[in-house]
Structure formats: structure tokens, C-alpha cells
Structure 1
Amino acid sequence: MNNIQSQVKVFLSKFFGDRNLQPDEDIFSLGFVNSLFAMQLVLFIEQEFQIAIENEDLEFDNFRTINSITNLIERKTALSVQ
């Protein structure tokens, strides 16, 4: 698990309690996700990783798993470095 994945998992664990989320586990299928949580997740990503989540990034598939969130962050941070 890389550093980005670890930071995302720590944030998610605040909402998912004792559940040991796996990197490829669909957080939406667990039933914990609501619109408030989705906004908190986007704000966390923007603030923690100093990136902007654009409207075109707001697709479920970008936020469904720890891996997909990590991939989104890595893509966005690579773009901001260029």
C-alpha cells in the first residue's frame, strides 16, 4: 500500500469504523455513502493533496474504491506537476 492509499484509507476509516477496507472494495455497495460523505471525501482529497476535483472527475468510478481514488489523485497530481 503506497502513501496515498494509506492516507485515503485512514480518512475512510473515520466513516467505516472497524471495517478493514480493502483497496479494491466498493465503498458504495457497503451502504455507508451518502451525499454529505461524498462532499467530505472530495474536500479531503482537494485539501490533503492540493488538487482540484473538476466536474468531469465527479464520476462514481473515480471514488468507488481506495484504488480508484488513489488513481484519480495520482492522475491529478501528475497533471499539476506538468
Structure 2
Amino acid sequence: MVMTMPSNAAVPDPLGDTGAVEKELLRFLELRTGKAWSADMDVFGSGGLSSLFAMELVVHLERSYGIAVRGADLQMDNFRTARRMAELVGRLRRPAVGGSHA
């Protein structure tokens, strides 16, 4: 029996592994820019990437990880490096303190 996986199956679960999210984001950045990146490399400070690309990053994070980036989280510093983006994903995926329990 052959099982097929949905196209988003390669996206790691950010609740369990921020490092896996970093790796996926580094692959995404490399595919979109044609350049290799490290987890702490400043995506915008290195030049060549625009605010339009920042919005593309927001959409990628929201679709890939089922999060909503709003308000104060839309700061450029949250998108400056793959590590910061992975931390943002992890924070937004955590249940809110004082939230209801299932």
C-alpha cells in the first residue's frame, strides 16, 4: 500500500521543535533568494530584500504554521532572522496564558 502525504507534510510542527522551523525557513529563504542563509543572518540588513518580501514572509508563516501575525507581532525585528521567525512561530502557536482548557 502506498501512502501519499499532503504537500505541506514537510512543514515541521513548531510546537515541538523550533530548530526544525528554522531549517524550513532557511530552505524557504534559499529557494526564494537563490542564496544560502544562516539562522542568525539578517535577512534585510544584508541588502536586496524589500518590504514586499517581508509581507511574503508573513503570508508564508501564517499559511505554513497556522498562525495569525497581527498588531505588535508585525515588527520587522520578528522577521529579521530565521531564528527570530521560528521563535515568533513558537510563541504564536503556544496557548495563551489563562486560556481555556480542552
Same fold (TM > 0.5): yes
RMSD (Å), alpha carbons: 1.7
Q: Give the distance between the partners of 1:14 and 1:55, measured in 2 at CA.
A: 28
Supply the distance in 2 between the matched residues of 1:39 and 1:79 (Cα, whole angstroms): 25
Q: Which runs of 4+ in 1 moved over 6 A?
A: none
One-letter code aligned to 1:11 = F
Q: 1:16 aligns with which of 24, 27, 33?
A: 33
Task: Name the amino acid aligned to 1:76.
Answer: L
2:23 match: secondary structure: helix
Instruction: State TM-score, norm by structure 1.
Output: 0.86
Please tell me the residue identity of whatever aligns with 1:61: D
Q: Does 1:57 align with 2:78?
A: no
Higher helix share: 1
- Partner of 2:88 in structure 1? 72
Determine what percentage of the aligned residue pairs are the same residue: 32
Unaligned 5+ runs, structure 1:
none
Q: Which has the higher contact order (CA 8 A, sep 6+)?
A: 1
With normalisation by structure 2, the TM-score equals: 0.71
1:26-65 aligned at under 5 Å gives the runs: 26-65=42-81
| Count of residues in correspondence between the two structures | 80
